[in-house]
Amino acid sequence: MKSKVSRLDRFVSQNSVFPISDVRLLIAQKRILLDGRAAHSVQQRVGEFTHVVLDGACLKDNAPVYIMLNKPKGVVSATKDLRHTTVIDLIEHPRKDELHIVGRLDFNTTGLVLLTNDGAWSRKISLPETKLAKTYEVTLAKALNDEYLAVFREGLYFAYEGITTKPAQLEILSSHTARLSLIEGKYHQVKRMFGFFQNEVLGLHRVSVGDIGLDGLEEGQSRLLTSREVMSVRSHSAPAHVAE
């Protein structure tokens, strides 16, 4: 994969009329701005979303994009599919082809899907070490009882992978519905956890990722994330009470 980061002197020489040997002088004359501040070294890094200005002319202005979608049932969590409607098909944004999906949902699972072109941001959401909770509303075929609470809290052993799931928080809402919060995302994890009790998941709806929630967004609709929502991921740290 081609790196999206380069040294400042190389970037300027490749994107302006100035040779690489002139970049130190341009820096000394404060003619180069990185993200609104005067550059100070030829070795500064120009990343995918660094804003670069030389003599008042913008050389690079690729802003990150963060979008949420309320995914309907029967839509594929993919960027392209020849047979089915994809989450990208439902989004209206001029740069939607740059986006990737942060945490896919199954074909019949509904709810919150996040999309971005910021790889560092999406990796933080995906890593279990971040302990960013993903919360789901679950509808089940059989009635729930308090035994579920203890088992989910302690974790379940998945023989196929040879792993035990991390502690999960389960709240019973009614006889056949619950709210489940996970800090990881194993293959079909929710269905397999309830499968321990031979209880089929009839409906699965993701309502939030960390502090980012659907908040009344209609099914099939999308919107840009607010700066506060974006920062809630960047500034997230694991709560002290979460046990391993």
pLDDT in tens, 8-19: 999 999 999 999
Choice among 22, 81, 89, 106 that is catalytic: 106
How do residues 175-202 score in pLDDT, each as one tens digit? 999 999 999 888 889 999 999 999 999 9
Residue 106 designated active-site: yes
Half-sphere exposure of 145 (CA within 13 A, CB side): 4
Q: Which amino acid is it at 125?
A: I
Which pLDDT score is estimated for 238?
Answer: 52
Assigned fold of 6-60: 3.10.290
pLDDT at 3: 60
Q: Which two tokens stand for residue 240?
A: 């002290």
Handedness of CA 234, 111, 175, 196 (dihedral sign): negative
- Residue ranges of the domains in the chain? 6-60, 65-127+220-236, 133-209
Tell me, yes or no, if the two domains 65-127+220-236 and 133-209 fold the same way. Answer: yes
Q: What phi, psi does 153 have (nearest 5°)?
A: -65, -35
What pLDDT sits at residue 237?
A: 60
CA distances from 111 to 103, 106, 116, 214, 215 (A): 12, 10, 17, 8, 11
Q: How far is CA 14 from the centre of its chain?
A: 32
**Regions of the chain where pLDDT drops below 50:** 1, 239-244
Q: Does domain 65-127+220-236 have CATH number 3.30.70.580?
A: yes
CATH of 133-209, one of 3.20.20.70, 3.30.70.1560, 1.10.3720.10, 3.40.50.150: 3.30.70.1560
pLDDT computed for residue 46 by the predictor? 93
pLDDT (0 to 100) of residue 240: 42
CB 52, CB 58: distance < 8 Å: yes
Q: What is the largest CA-CA distance in the chain?
A: 73
